[in-house]
Amino acid sequence: MKKYFGTDGIRARVGAAPMTVEWLSSLGRAVGSVIQNQGKPIVIGLDTRESSAMLGDAVAAGLAAQGHHVILAGVLPTPAIAFLCKHNDFNLGVVISASHNPYHDNGIKFFCSDGFKLSDEVESAIETAVDNIATIPLAATLGKIESDHSLAQTYAQHCQTFFAPQALAGLELVLDCAHGATYRLAPALFNDLGATVHSLHITPDGRNINAACGATDLRALQKAVKEKEAHLGIAFDGDGDRVMMVDGDGVVVDGDELLWILAAHQLAEHKELPGVVGTLMSNLGLVEALAEKQVPFYRANVGDRYVLEALQERNWFLGGESSGHLLHLHYGTTGDGIVSALLILQAMVKARKPLSELKNGMVKYPQVMINVRHAGGKPDLSSAAIKAAVTDVERQLAGHGRVLLRASGTEPLIRVMVEGKDASHTKTYAETLAAQIQTILADA
């Protein structure tokens, strides 16, 4: 167990430990002492939270104090930083973002020069260094801090390579950018590719990121797609590493269905797919659809870093999460909402079918997830009372569904998921179980 790093970097409420200017400056120094200075700069990108620039400056100051040259790239999606690390010869990439969390939270994550996230060993070394920062001397020669906002265009040009000019001509799209890191880049990119673009939530004010919009709340997108009679809608989260979609009828197409579309397209185009990695949350319908195509499926722990680890261990390239984190290692090293959306559109263009038809090869099991908030710490999900409540639901499912309890790695929440063939019964089971767990945790 690490002290500060969770499943996706470090996150906390701004102003509360460890998400303070003072601590992030120390963190920057700690990172600067652990990461070897190879004469290559470190790039820092931000989302649109009111605290992001302040926290990014603090990290930059700490890195410069250890002699590193820092480039401030401004507001950029998380996957853009990963791409720039790999293709623009940066020594390290830093992202200041709390992804899908509300504005009052913030976080930090890092990418190595190869575009992948830091290993557990490096994260542990950074934690040790930050706890002993008083013993680490400043560099004899301080690093410089510069700004370069042109890097956004470098990433945009990379995204455009998936299509010929005007390849999306005739498509009418609604984009929901969640008032987040994609708010400038995504509408311009899809417009440049020829699509007719209607943009939602592209006026960040520092506090409206993810607020009733984006990949975590699709209601506004569903409404807009129907009102505009668009072909489909695309929603990104606050830092742009996940995507969700809405078809022309306003029906949500989630990460499992998008993963199925990518898998089916891969099989149609290349006749071969060694396997697909999902997570404990992946729908049984995805597993069954892939099995019909004789494609192996592996469930990793929830979190895109665990999906990536499983892909690398098996030498596979395609995986993802229900939440819309999709990884296609032929096209990038981390979840990328914009690239994933472009790959789905590519499948539509090649198949000449709407999104609603492409997803039909997979029949989803009704799945209900309820978040149960707790007081903090590490709740005991293996207690006798919780086990008994879960066993009762599993008995009622009679082998035709699943129950999964999972503690969030970024918020004080227990995710209660129930999956079954009957939607009404599944909803009832999930609500009952969530209420029981809420009571059990309150009484503990």
pLDDT tens digits for range 106-132? 999 999 999 999 999 999 999 999 999
323 and 307 in a common domain: yes
How far apart CA 346 and CA 326 sit, in angstroms, is: 15
Reduced to 3 states (helix: H, G, I; strand: E, B; else coil), residue 300 is strand
244 and 176 in a common domain: yes
Lowest mean pLDDT among 161-165, 361-365, 429-433: 161-165
How far apart CA 416 and CA 434 sit, in angstroms, is: 6
pLDDT higher than 90, residue 102 = yes
Domain membership of residue 169 (yes or no) is: yes
Determine whether 119 is an active site residue: no
218 and 182 in a common domain: yes
Confidence at residue 173, expressed as pLDDT on a 0 to 100 scale? 98
Count of CB atoms within 10 A of residue 237's CB? 33
How many domains, the chain? 4
190 and 132 in a common domain: no
On whether the CB atoms of residues 225 and 246 are closer than 8 A, the answer is: yes
Lowest mean pLDDT among 1-10, 198-207, 319-328, 406-415: 406-415
Q: Which residues pair with 278 in a beta bridge?
A: 299
Domain membership of residue 348 (yes or no) is: no
Domain membership of residue 155 (yes or no) is: no
42 and 94 in a common domain: yes
Confidence at residue 218, expressed as pLDDT on a 0 to 100 scale? 98
pLDDT higher than 90, residue 165 = no
Taking residues 140-163, what's their average pLDDT?
94
Confidence at residue 302, expressed as pLDDT on a 0 to 100 scale? 87
143 and 23 in a common domain: yes
pLDDT higher than 90, residue 163 = no
Confidence at residue 171, expressed as pLDDT on a 0 to 100 scale? 95
Residues 281-320 have pLDDT tens digits of 899 999 999 999 999 999 999 889 999 999 999 999 999 9
pLDDT higher than 80, residue 409 = no
Catalytic residue among 33, 51, 99, 322: 99
Higher-confidence position of 311 and 398: 311
Domain boundary among 219, 252, 285: 252
- Per-residue pLDDT band for 348 (boundaries 50, 70, 90) equals very high
As a whole number, the mean pLDDT across the chain is 95
98 and 14 in a common domain: yes
Starting at the edge strand found earlier in the chain, the sheet holding 243-247 runs 196-200, 172-176, 232-236, 243-247, 252-253
94 and 30 in a common domain: yes
pLDDT higher than 90, residue 227 = yes
Confidence at residue 412, expressed as pLDDT on a 0 to 100 scale? 87
Reduced to 3 states (helix: H, G, I; strand: E, B; else coil), residue 308 is helix
Confidence at residue 350, expressed as pLDDT on a 0 to 100 scale? 92
Domain membership of residue 235 (yes or no) is: yes
116 and 230 in a common domain: no
226 and 144 in a common domain: no
Contacts 24+ apart (CB under 8 A), 331-334: 331/162, 332/79, 332/82, 332/83, 332/115, 333/82, 333/83, 333/86, 333/111, 333/114, 333/115, 333/116, 333/308, 334/78, 334/79, 334/82, 334/111, 334/115, 334/116, 334/117, 334/241, 334/304, 334/308
Q: What is the model's pTM?
A: 0.91
168 and 140 in a common domain: no
Q: Which helix (H) or strand (E) holds 56?
A: helix 52-65
Residue 258, token pair as written in the block: 């998008």
Domain membership of residue 313 (yes or no) is: yes
Residue closest to 125 by CA, chosen among 115, 136, 113: 136
240 and 130 in a common domain: no
Taking residues 326-333, what's their average pLDDT?
96
- Per-residue pLDDT band for 13 (boundaries 50, 70, 90) equals very high
pLDDT higher than 80, residue 201 = yes
Domain boundary among 127, 150, 173: 150
Taking residues 203-208, what's their average pLDDT?
98
- Per-residue pLDDT band for 378 (boundaries 50, 70, 90) equals confident
CATH number of domain containing 99: 3.40.120.10
> What is the span of the domain harbouring residue 392?
367-443
Domain boundary among 117, 150, 183: 150
Domain membership of residue 347 (yes or no) is: no
Domain membership of residue 109 (yes or no) is: yes
Domain membership of residue 340 (yes or no) is: no
